[in-house]
Chains A and B, each alone.
Chain A
Amino acid sequence: MAKITLQDLRHSYMPNPAGPQDYALKQIDLDWTDGGAYALLGPSGCGKSTLLNIISGLLVPSQGKVLFDGKDVTHLPPDQRNIAQVFQFPVIYDTMTVYDNLAFPLRNRGVAAQRVDARVREIAVMLELDDVLKRRAAGLTPDAKQKISMGRGLVRDDVNVVMFDEPLTVIDPALKWKLRSKLKELHQKVAVTMIYVTHDQTEALTFADQVVVMQDGEVVQIGTPVELFERPAHTFVGHFIGSPGMNVLPCEMRDGAAFFQGAPVSLAGPTKATTGRTELGIRPEYVTLADAGIPATVHKAADLGRHMVVEARAGDHTINAVVEDTAPAQGDTVHLAFAQNQTRVYTDGWLTTEDAS
């Protein structure tokens, strides 16, 4: 068990990276507290897996350090870091039984047979693999195989961190939900640091206490699911998290006040320096149809069951609003009101409005 620190980390897959565009990871400084449940969230190709492989030791970063409890492990191989990792596609040892598969990481480390047996049975019960322990692993379903993969990650109780690299990709939706809550439950039981990599916001938000959002090799925000939702630090976070994502609208700043298409918009708090491209960020959940406000034409309305998403056009811009009751008809002219405490300005993508306390 250890606190993991990433210091000044950069990584490029090219031998001689010329500029920032050649780096898969641009600049990462991060602390992972011991025992935390983290999710690493970002679109495909944002550097999540690279970061994970650097922590596990499968990759040595081009620059920077990885510290476990202050000890530099940057150049240590995975087996000396005492970590576990579960991969996207199930990795099982075909010729072994399920039992032997689960026991493999322990036996390789010379754990006593009795202890191995106890751990394997415990994990098998948790993952509901106890009735197939004697079966050959090769003949099982992909679901079961992935459970074995996860089991091998969880079977060692002395690990510094267990990492999951999009482990539920191959699992069918019904079981996904079950396994995810199982993992959450496991985390509470064993209190080992877990890092869960995913591009699926639902997975990240349900599993993690802290979500690390990445884009283009950079960390854009770290926060609890609620923080990410209510106060995105970057328009990317606002857009990536939430369904539909945050409305991002170009605005003009004059004397600390924001104007959208000439009309003043009141903000959640004072806004810092305003050089650069300025945009308004407002989540569809906080946009309401009102008697007065920004005029827009309803383009379409989608019924999502629990609520409706109204897509309206104001000039060239599309604004989404979540509506609880009946939606206006297509082509109707409506007025949109933004909740003041949820409307913020982003400068060059980054949040520049401070919430008034």
Chain B
Amino acid sequence: MKTVNQRAWFFVLPVLLLVAFNALVPLMTVVNYSVQETFGDNLFFWHGVGWFEDVLRSERFHAALGRQLLFTFLILIIEVPLGVAIALAMPRKGFWVPVCLVLMALPLLIPWNVVGAMWNIFTLPDIGLAGYTLNEVLGINYNMTQSPLAAWITIIVMDVWHWTSLVVLLAYAGLISIPDAYYQAAKIDGASNWSVFRYIQLPKMKRVLTIAILLRFMDSFNIYTEVFVLTGGGPGNSTTLLSIDLVKTALGQFDLGPAAAMSLIYFLVTLLVSWVFYTVMTKDEP
């Protein structure tokens, strides 16, 4: 019989404490708020699942969730194929490798609110480089503070600019790990370029792409700063994504109960989608 030693649990304790204070305690506070009603003065009344019912029935929530899903869907179907395509086009060896890698990494190094501010100025119709060029040189009427479509195009392009690099770098890491023999064997087997991509490169990139999609899903689903700085959720509510709506509810209107219920639903949606996606993608792996 092997003696069971429980002392190892002590090593987990610091992490447990850390997680408790930065995740579990705040989360439980939110849970606490989500089932109560307050009128100020630190007076709370039990409200059951009322807030959850309200939020789930609220058209405002549905609209924000819809916008959020649309945003995430659009950036994923643009960034993932684009990122893979760029990674495929990047050189595998030689002088240009570090140059490409640094260029690709640059957008990732810029703080989120700076990205929002940059794009805000960039797209101003009278002085911004893009805004001026579109309006004055090309004659296209473009003003993202007036047109919801222009606002949407701008936030999508901004996100693509900011985050495609992440997909590129991960996909590239997957690509360069493929031994030359695979390409040589494929050549000898008479495989077309498409077959090489389909049967060698894509399967070898599957793991890193799973991670890339997961990261991009979570980040874009929770996006706040860039869009808030750029459009403030407007014009009207057209770019009010879930997180922006949540902050408006919680801090603008100080509706703690509904905001807490909304946070939890938001959190569960993110968790559920991530879990389902990851489980499906890795189900074949031994």
Contact = CB atoms under 8 A, between A and B. Distances in A.
A93 interface: yes
Contacts of B6: none
Contacts of A109: 190
B94 to A, nearest CB: 13
Interface in B184-231: 184-185, 187-192, 195, 199-200, 203-204
A105 B189 contact: yes
Nearest to A59: B184
B188 A88 contact: no
A83 B184 CA distance: 12
A87 interface: yes
B182 interface: yes
Contacts of A88: 181
Contact of B187 (A78, A93, A94, A152): A78
Interface in A44-65: 53, 56, 58
Interface string A312-346: 00000000000000000000000000000000000
Given A78-B187, A104-B189, A89 B203 contact: no
A85 B184 contact: yes
A242 B113 CA distance: 73
Interface residues of A, number: 25
A141 interface: no
B179 A95 contact: no
A77 interface: yes
Nearest to A155: B189
A91 B185 contact: yes
B139 interface: no
A76 to B, nearest CB: 12
Nearest to A163: B188
Nearest to B179: A89
A138 to B, nearest CB: 8
B185 A149 contact: yes
Contacts of A58: 184, 187-188
Interface in A85-111: 85, 87-89, 91, 93-96, 104-105, 108-109
Most A CB within 10 A of own CB, among B181, B190, B191? B190
Nearest to A100: B199
A79 B184 CA distance: 10
B206 to A, nearest CB: 9
A87 B185 contact: yes
Contact of B199 (A78, A83, A96, A149): A96
B14 interface: no
B111 interface: no
A325 B192 CA distance: 63
Contacts of B40: none
B286 interface: yes
A139 interface: yes
B199 A108 contact: no
A105 B181 contact: no
A83 B203 CA distance: 26
B203 A108 contact: no
Q: Give the most central of A77, A84, A88, A91: most B CB within 10 Å.
A: A91
B203 A94 contact: yes
A84 B199 contact: no
A136 B286 CA distance: 12
Contacts of B191: 104, 108
Given A58-B188, A152-B189, 19 more contacts: A58-B184, A78-B187, A79-B187, A79-B189, A84-B188, A85-B185, A87-B185, A91-B181, A91-B182, A93-B200, A94-B203, A104-B189, A104-B191, A105-B190, A108-B189, A108-B191, A108-B192, A108-B195, A136-B284
The 4 A-B pairs at the shortest CB distance, nearest first, are namely A108-B190, A91-B185, A105-B189, A87-B181
